[in-house]
Structure 1
């Protein structure tokens, strides 16, 4: 008898569900739902790097997408054996003692600090710096050692620390915090005991400094030095973590009724979208899976024997079982990939939206038709013209740090930049420079893995960019000087989540076997164009030089601000004489090596 599973994939802009045949991975139905509040930019402020999402966007999307895929197929509910949730991350949200998000409780309905703090929210840069400083200097274990040695403002503890310092009401009301993937899983299962609920190994290991070497999360004596709230919070979080082939629970009576499913349906432990995507793309050792969307996550797996005691510098963590149980999952990524191109598109669209589409010379129907035509052709025309620019022609050099740098060596204070502009520079030249930048950023990740002794034999691309932009993928193959296989599935992370669900439901014994039977096939392979590889190597040198320059001035500016703050604090004292001021300034400059 046929058996089916559901994968639910929460991205930055939308949630998608797929109904999958466990025999062969055939995707029988799929549905995508855009977050309505997010689309309206509610609770967000891009100028402050604040990006928050209301849990109602996620709950509504859950119900709408699953009901839709069930309506599309006449499948007996009893034959749907499992569900698994994957989400973006780190995207924590505060909850009360009953596990209810604060944003769903009285008084917090419109408070951004009570919302889910999306992965791309960078309001916690200073808090991340504090965590890194403490981890290096507190005299005990450096708890960032398995997270690349640098804690990021994109991650769990930094975000919580920022929010509770900014909002006393949220601090008092937040009994615990949950990653997005844990929250949606918790929502669906019958068991509502927060303490015994099975939290994601993937989320905790890569983003919350959880590791078996120190028996779980960092200890209270470390967290208390950041804020006593964090030390107390640790008691309301978790000790153990679980991989996504395990059962978190069964579908609750309430949600089985709302969705039209059986209470015997297994709900697997949650995971992150990129890790599920790697499973959906049949990841294996020495394969780098690039999950390319608004940002990228670059995923690898390796045996414990291969990795040994080695820690890979500057990545987003290495965690036992975070991708495939029994193997170490390695994560890296770029903070902006599609987001960089979207920024350029939005900038170029300003005169269209504010001058052309607001003109009284056009009818309402003409404006609608023109807007649709522009939307459908914008990137494709830019890509075509950029591709036709010969590499011998002068092309600007750009950086991909429009949303900071994730890997190698997380630094969200860094900004994008561009050089080598001239009066001959046109929009396609800049677009080509931006495409080069995201490909050069990808090469820096490959170089870091290889420099650290992790060999890469193949590259797999998944996501909308991988499938829809031959120009970008060919450029990436040329820059990396490696063939790139493209997964055929439009919903590879959701497919990977469905694979985890099939294992949790007992249909397959291992994730590897389920992935080989249910994972996506490949629709294309991009091979390096040998005649262009040397040219891209030369252009990469310009990228490296601009990167070094921007990083240097960013670090100097940060140090100068710190010196200014320290000196000003001393100068405020009435007893600080002129000679003392000179000595203080000299000492500060020497300490910061300015």
Structure 2
């Protein structure tokens, strides 16, 4: 898919932002001075669409690097053809995270090498892969008891199965061939940046954003966790630390320039600057014009909540139960704090899948319709389902529906990461309808968001405004209005349809020297806001009551989960007696 508009004859400098999401990659070409979009292109991952290398029952979600390479070439070539190649001065990549993958001594992904092409353990372990629950529990237990530095302290105090070290430990334990062949490991955003620049692995500039939030990197202990701690966690990690990195770099820094190979493959030049990589949510927050004490909610399959604050005002304060606080992870010179929810769009898509089961399963068995008619009917019903379900759910009076849900179908990211938790629904009766359940799911997402806002403010980080961006924020007025009512705060929705890609373009513009810093780039290239949702005062009190019920429901489910599956719960505390 591609859209474009004519480029201004006065705009001689352009940048490309490349955003790797869970399902597809998109590239945007924008004017480096004004942020005006010239073209965009989207490419779905072919293998991922077929769910190859995935096993949902095991929470295994892997992506083949060929999906990423094919998408890179397809999208960038399409947008780059709209202006002269020499006018494209920079590009930058953002990706999901933590999405690490094993590489050889040259930074080549193992899945691209003979013998590993079909091995899921040699591929990128997607952010929502939760196969590393036991390893995350071990990291948390050992960090508290090993007698040295608690390396989780700047990660919210709880390490998640979604993150770098837990995933690596899981893979090397499970797969001896990968453990032996993997010279090093790279976050997805780093690997793609190295691929484009063709630099040396040993001197490559790794992302501060990725390392600080997911790999327990911090200046206080000289970078990554110590060799002693890592080998205590898993002996097969011995020696890996020295083959990784010590220094990290903010996303406005120059990682290199396009290699001859990739300049040719993309239709660009070797003078094109490539910025250091970042995560999608953090880049999106930049495009959402984040400023001190704003919370930008990047709302897609999951939600990442990004906050920035002046370093001197936060001081040594640690916010427990979030996804880390990192100097410069969003805007250089400011502290970046991250939280979020593991299932937002994914939660609603799950419910749609439940309702669509007859269409997928029984319709193909019908003898009354041809296959072409079956396919057309299934597509028509699927397209209409979300629209009609949303309309009906919006019409439900929350005061008359007692259905209550927990949004933990993919575990809980924050507050207090615990990916072993499960979703739940209560107060079902013979009169409960699909729209009532759908509304309860939407409300549960909003209540989960309220818990995150409260955690920040309880720990002394004020939230002065809330900004929504991403597919859910742009497409679901019902969700955004409910969120405004639950939070009892106005919510601004960013104008850009491709905010993470635009944020990466802003980073690229700074790296290329068009703007002196990220804040200046934001002001020059920002697209502003599409609309603002204001709380409905008639709904606020009722939602507060239901929020308290949600909290009680969550406490019950969490206690039950710990009782029956405490050995894998990421918040398990070791008996230190």
Which category describes the TM-score, using the shorter chain as reference length? over 0.9
Q: Distance in 1 between matches of 2:454 and 2:25?
A: 33
Q: Distance in 2 between matches of 1:48 and 1:244?
A: 34
1:302 aligned partner: 309
2:372 aligned partner: 365
Rg (Cα) greater in structure: 1
**8 Å CA contact retained: 2:109, 2:122:** yes
1:498 aligned partner: 505
Q: Deviations over 1:382-428 (max 9, x none)?
A: 11001111122123110000000000000001000111000010100
Residue number among 4, 7, 15 corresponding to 1:5 in the alignment? 15
1:459 and 2:439 are equivalent in the alignment = no
Quote the offset at 1:561 in angstroms: 9.1
1:581 aligned partner: none
**8 Å CA contact retained: 2:420, 2:568:** no
1:566 aligned partner: none
TM-score (normalised: structure 1): 0.93
Q: Distance in 2 between matches of 1:53 and 1:446?
A: 32
1:431 and 2:438 are equivalent in the alignment = yes
Counterpart mapping for 1:172-321 below 5 A: 172-191=180-199, 193-321=200-328
1:129 and 2:137 are equivalent in the alignment = yes
Could you say what secondary structure the match of 1:423 adopts?
coil
Q: Distance in 2 between matches of 1:91 and 1:36?
A: 18
**8 Å CA contact retained: 2:196, 2:258:** yes
Counterpart mapping for 1:474-489 below 5 A: 474-489=481-496
Quote the offset at 1:316 in angstroms: 0.2
**8 Å CA contact retained: 2:23, 2:45:** yes
Could you say what secondary structure the match of 1:418 adopts?
strand
Structural RMSD (CA):
1.4
Could you say what secondary structure the match of 2:492 adopts?
strand
> Any stretches of 5+ residues in structure 2 without a counterpart?
1-10
1:535 and 2:542 are equivalent in the alignment = yes
Q: Distance in 1 between matches of 2:262 and 2:567?
A: 55
Q: Distance in 1 between matches of 2:539 and 2:143?
A: 44
Counterpart mapping for 1:350-361 below 5 A: 350-361=357-368
Q: Distance in 2 between matches of 1:438 and 1:84?
A: 31
The structure showing larger relative contact order (alpha-carbon pairs under 8 Å, at least 6 residues apart) is 2
Residue number among 386, 403, 407 corresponding to 2:410 in the alignment? 403
Moved more, 363-372 or 509-518: 363-372
**8 Å CA contact retained: 1:276, 1:493:** yes
Quote the offset at 1:83 in angstroms: 0.6
Q: Distance in 1 between matches of 2:40 and 2:568?
A: 51
Moved more, 219-228 or 399-408: 219-228
TM-score (normalised: structure 2): 0.96
Q: Distance in 2 between matches of 1:80 and 1:365?
A: 45
> Any stretches of 5+ residues in structure 1 without a counterpart?
563-589
1:444 aligned partner: 451
Quote the offset at 1:19 in angstroms: 0.1
Could you say what secondary structure the match of 2:387 adopts?
helix
Quote the offset at 1:229 in angstroms: 2.6
1:85 and 2:93 are equivalent in the alignment = yes
**8 Å CA contact retained: 1:86, 1:276:** yes
Quote the offset at 1:591 in angstroms: 5.9
Q: Distance in 2 between matches of 1:561 and 1:389?
A: 38
**8 Å CA contact retained: 1:315, 1:408:** yes
Quote the offset at 1:357 in angstroms: 4.4
Could you say what secondary structure the match of 2:101 adopts?
strand
Q: Distance in 2 between matches of 1:186 and 1:84?
A: 11
Could you say what secondary structure the match of 1:301 adopts?
strand
1:21 aligned partner: 31
Evaluate the alpha carbon distance shift between residue 327 and residue 591 of structure 1 in structure 2; reply closer, same or farther with a 3 A threshold: closer
**8 Å CA contact retained: 1:2, 1:23:** no
